[in-house]
Structure formats: structure tokens, C-alpha cells
Chain A
Amino acid sequence: MKLAGLLDKMLAIARRDLLTAIRYRIGFLVGAAGALAELAAFYYLSRAVGPGFRPDGVEYFPFLLVGTGLYTFLVVGINAFLHIVQEAQQTGSLEVLMTTSTPAPVLVFLSAMSAFAGNTLQLLFYLGGGLLLAGSLPASPNIPGCIVIFGLSVVIAVAIGILAAALQLAIQKGSALVWLLGSGIWFMTGTLFPVTTLPKPLRLLADLIPITHSLKAMRLALLQGAGFFSLGTELVILALFSCVLLPMSLWIFSSTLRRARLEGTLSFY
């Protein structure tokens, strides 16, 4: 597929999502209000805990800010894949979309990219608002490192999202995977407190979750200004997860889609 054609499709999908979001005016405002309330809650929680608690050597509020902001960004992004397939099944547009000239994996990928673009704005708004509330900016953040970590984390989230979409097509219950991510494992990824406080078996499990490494690396790069050498282990782990998960998820999605076409279950939900 030519790049110009791909960009044209990307723009069409982004335009659809933007127009739909704008026209759900109340939903947009409620989302912004929810983020502000969350920021305020974490700010007062960190004040209640007091300045003595410095997880991984940083102040608690910035620690919380990066953890909750990035975790929410990734899980909402993963959920976007599921939501796209679920909504298309319910409205009946999935079958129509699958008969356009755009291959299904490309379509799902572009739709999720559009969702990630929207979520990135929300993440910047959340982090910016939080840093303003904290009244201080990180001293010497490693911005190129943050960008690399962010990119690798998005690739991993895309892969998990595609798996959720495949699960939705296969058993119409992709939400189970997102629920597991959203509520089942959040406490193991170091979102609210350092992973080092967990018992050893859970620490080992936490190491198998890619988001744990995303959060750890982002805190190191953004809050402590760690260089690429110090970030090495985490970057290698994230790159390995990306290289394995993305092709695997695309293969599983294509196989599931083919099976749904054979069984006639594309529009089941």
C-alpha cells in the first residue's frame, strides 16, 4: 500500500473520530473533569502520605503522576481496539468495513492510532496539569529517552490491543482481557507504589508484564534524567516485548478474522 494512500486513510479515520468526539460534547467535558478530579485526588493523597515517602528516590506526587498517567494512557489505548471492534459489531458496520479495499489489520491499526493520538493529548494535559499543581518541573529530563520509551510502550499497547480485538472477534469477550489489565494487574505494575514493596513471587510476575518496565523506564528518564546507558536493560526488555508481541498479535488477528469469515460470526456480539 502506498504511503500517500495510507496517510489519506489515517486522516479520514482521525477526522471521523474527531468529529464524533466533538459532537459528543458532554462526554468530552466529563472526561476532562474526571482527569482533573483524579489529579486533585492524587495530589492530596501524596500530601497526606507526607514528604518522607520517596519511592525510588523521587517525590511521591510526580511518581504517582507518571505512573497513573502512563498506565491509564496505555490501558485506554488497548481498550480503544476492543471498543472499535465492539462498536462496529453492534452497529453492523464491521461487515461493511471488512469489504472495503483496506485490509482489516491495516484498518484496525489505523483506527487505534487515531485513538492513541487523542489519548496522547489527554496524557500531555494530565502530566502538564500535574506538574503545574506540583509547582516544579523535573530538573533534567532525558527527553529523547522518554520519546523512545513512549514509542516502544505504544507498540506494546497496540499489540495487546490487537489481541483484545482478536479475542472480541473469536469469543465476543475481549473486554475480559482489558478488565484483567485494568483491574487485575494494575497493582503489580508499580502504578501507585514501587514494585519492590511486593512479595517476591509477585515481583517475578510483575517483571513479565511489559507495562511494569514502561513505568519504571519512564520514571527513570523523566523524573531522574537517567541516560540511555542506565535505561539499557529496560529498553532492551521493552524492545523484546515489542518484537515478539506485534507480529504475533497481527498473525492471531488475521487468523481469527479468517475463521470468523468461515463461520459467519463477524457481526456476532
Chain B
Amino acid sequence: MDSIVLESVSKIFRHRPALFNWMGRERGGETRALDNISLTVGSGRVLVLLGPNGSGKTTTLKLVSTMLLPDAGHVLVEGADTRTRPNQVRKQVGFAIANERSFFPRLSARENLDFFAALDDVPRSSRAEWIQATLERTGLVEATDTLVMKFSSGMYQRLGIARALIKQPSILLLDEPTRSLDPAAANHFWNLVRELPEQGCTVMLATHSFSEAAAVGDSVAVLHRGALAASGRLSGDVEELRAFYFQATGEMDETMELVTPRW
């Protein structure tokens, strides 16, 4: 069964200029962030969204999380439409967003997780134990009682992942999850993601990193200018994925120029 289904989904952002904008140059208009996208993610699979900036990766994740609603088409999460049954969808989905500062700065890591766990209906009886386990899984156990305003970017990112995991979601959405992590922490995180499907969790991950995509993904969807440029299964070979990506997007692989001598 498919856990996530996008059926002919389009998302348009409309821009309205300020009311009194006689002196400025702001103009109205619209950005077509997603254009008639259809894709599916099977239960317990890891789908990687690859694409350049502005290709629609984050918009796709936000649509699945109900943060955004589609202008056309349907987004189904475990069979529930995000438009008509958003509360049911939210119970299933954990989302680690790219914004690192979306925490309460004067609460500790444990207190922040406790707060979000309460809002996500994690039973009070098992909450403390589950928070401790999640902090251990994300490598934050030594910072358990540190106020998050003292956190580094990488620690914020780990806490964001911990927050997404705290509700034990059946679907995990990750937006550039290793952007601020050092190589060892990124490796640890990839191991964590690879374990999730064994626990029945479906993962949708947006990234720019070919290594990350090859390390954790079962399949890939390449987005380009809001359209689905290509999709396929992943073999774990980074170079193969790189070639597939540049062929799909039609962009220049400038790293090749760096290694190809110019005589």
C-alpha cells in the first residue's frame, strides 16, 4: 500500500504588493511552485526529493504535512486527504523543517520535546522515557538540560529531528536534515534513517546532497522548476545518481569541469 500519494498536485503562490506601494517597485504576480505533480511513496520506503533551489522540494513536504494546501489535485497520507481530514494526517506525520530556530529558546532540549510531545498526544506515562530515548538516538543526551538558546546550528538540527521523531510518526518528512551536521553526525543520522523503515516508518527526504540521497534512499524524484523531471530507483551509487540528476534537469555538472583538464 502507498503511504503518500500526490495526484496531479499544483501549488501557486500569489504575491500581492503592499497597499501603499506608489514609491516602491513591488509588483503582484504568482509563482507556480508545483505544476501537476504525481508521485507515490510505498509504505516503509525512503523517497528522496532532489532538485535545485526553488524546484519545489520544500513545498512538496509542506503539502504532505498540511502546512500548505494544494490549489489543485489531492495529497493523500495513509489514505486521508490533507484537505478534508487534516487532523488525521497530522497525527501520522512528523516533520523536521529546515528552520533551526523554531523552538522556545528559554526552555531546555528536554522541556521543548516535552512540550511538543504533549501537543502530539504522546501518553504522559511513557513521555519521559521516550524523550530520553529520542535524545540518545539523535546524539543530544549531553545537552538534555541545556537551554536551546545556547545550541549550535547542528544541535538545533538534531533537536528538530528529535522533535519529528517524538510522536513516533508513521511518516517522517525531512527537509535538508544534515545541512548543518558534521560528517560524523551526518553518518550517524543516515544510519538512523536506514533503521526507520524496519519500524514501519515511511520517509520523504529533501536534499541537495547526492551522497545523502544514495546513502538512505530507496527511490528518487527529481524536481525541476516545479515539475517532476524524472524518478527512479536508487542503487546506492553516487556517480550514477549524479549522472541521472544532470540528465534529468539539463543542468551543467560543473564539478566535472573541475576534474577535466583543459588543454
A258, B69: Cβ atoms under 8 Å? yes
Which residue of the partner chain, among A24, A95, A100, A263, contacts B119 with CB atoms under 8 Å?
A100
- Chain A residues with Cβ below 8 Å from B119 are 9, 12, 97, 100-102, 107
Q: Is the interface of B mostly helix, strand, loop or mixed?
A: mixed
Chain B 219-231 interface mask (CB, 8 Å, partner A; 1/0): 0000000000000
Number of residue pairs across A and B with beta carbons under 8 Å? 90
Residues from 32 to 86 in A contacting B, C-beta threshold 8 Å: none
CA distance A107 to B71 in the complex (A): 26
Name 25 A/B residue pairs within 8 A (Cβ), A-sorted. A8-B118, A13-B115, A16-B104, A16-B107, A16-B115, A19-B106, A20-B106, A23-B106, A91-B102, A91-B103, A91-B105, A93-B103, A93-B104, A98-B66, A99-B65, A99-B93, A99-B95, A100-B116, A100-B119, A101-B121, A102-B120, A103-B87, A107-B119, A263-B13, A263-B14
B71, A262: Cβ atoms under 8 Å? yes
Closest to A4 in B: B124
- Chain A residues with Cβ below 8 Å from B167 are 101
- How many interface residues does B have (CB within 8 Å)? 38
A99, B121: Cβ atoms under 8 Å? no
* Smallest CB separation, B163 vs chain A (Å): 7
* Smallest CB separation, B19 vs chain A (Å): 9
- Chain A residues with Cβ below 8 Å from B120 are 100-102
A96, B163: Cβ atoms under 8 Å? yes
Residues from 53 to 100 in B contacting A, C-beta threshold 8 Å: 59, 62, 65-69, 71, 87, 90-91, 93, 95, 97, 99
With contact pairs A95-B67, A96-B163 given, residues A11 and B101 touching in the complex (Cβ less than 8 Å): no
CA distance A23 to B108 in the complex (A): 11
CA distance A21 to B121 in the complex (A): 25
Does B114 reach chain A (CB closer than 8 Å)?
A: yes
Does B111 reach chain A (CB closer than 8 Å)?
A: yes
Given contacts A100-B120, A261-B67, 20 further A-B contacts (CB under 8 A): A8-B124, A11-B118, A12-B114, A12-B115, A15-B115, A16-B111, A19-B107, A91-B105, A95-B97, A98-B66, A99-B66, A101-B87, A101-B91, A102-B121, A261-B66, A262-B71, A263-B13, A264-B11, A264-B33, A264-B62
Does A146 reach chain B (CB closer than 8 Å)?
A: no
CA distance A258 to B69 in the complex (A): 8
